[in-house]
Amino acid sequence: MPDISFYFDVGSPNAFLCHRVIPAIEARTGATFTYVPILLGGLFKLTGNQSPATAFAAIKNKPDYERLEMQRFITRHAVTDFRMNPHFPINTLLLMRGAIAAQQLGVFDPYLDRVFDDMWARGLDMGQPELVARSLGEAGLPVEQLFALAQTPEVKQRLLDNTQVAFEKGAFGSPSFLVGDDLYFGKDRLRDVEEAIMASSTA
């Protein structure tokens, strides 16, 4: 079974949709996806990329088609709780540092579930630290420890390093997947990711 890395930023709606679909792929294939927090804004700077909402805003028909493809994905995978965040785009620096801190504190899964849900199911303004703290506290997470650890040089550097590695592996956006040494970008490549996993397991 190859190593599978999922490079993500919670500010990406497509990363949220992948997060909803990945458990089914893991169940079908027996694979385990390793979640790697990155800072999408930092990756954009490294690659000269920009948000599709900005890049394609002036292109006739393309934004409408992108919304259509998103809806097709949602319908295909029966995702019932997605809503576009009315505060999008949101600065996710604190949230992604928090994800690194959550990994170190052993609360990554509940942290990520809560933050993803707040962003893309509840539509909250997750750029507000006070709101984030309140929500994490309601979820029973160690807010003070998470926030304190998120501000340490070690956590800040880890997020920078993750983003740099993603860049060096060829990533230019979120969600990106690495199956062994092979890069796949976007939620619509999840079918290819699953096929690659299955092919490697039968080789």
In this structure, what token pair is assigned to residue 158?
A: 């880890």
pLDDT > 90 fraction of the chain, expressed in percent and rounded: 89
Separation of alpha carbons 119 and 127, rounded Å? 10
- What integer pLDDT is reported at residue 178 of this predicted model? 97
In this structure, what token pair is assigned to residue 99?
A: 């994800």
- What integer pLDDT is reported at residue 203 of this predicted model? 60
- What integer pLDDT is reported at residue 1 of this predicted model? 79
Q: pLDDT digits over 47-72, tens only? A: 998 877 776 777 889 889 999 999 99
**129 vs 62 pLDDT, higher one:** 129
Residue extents of the structural domains in the chain: 4-202
In this structure, what token pair is assigned to residue 159?
A: 């997020």
pLDDT band, very low/low/confident/very high, at 30 (cuts 50, 70, 90): very high
Helix (H) or strand (E) holding 164: helix 153-168
Q: Does the predicted TM-score (pTM) go above 0.85?
A: yes
Task: State the fold for domain 4-202.
Answer: Glutaredoxin (3.40.30)
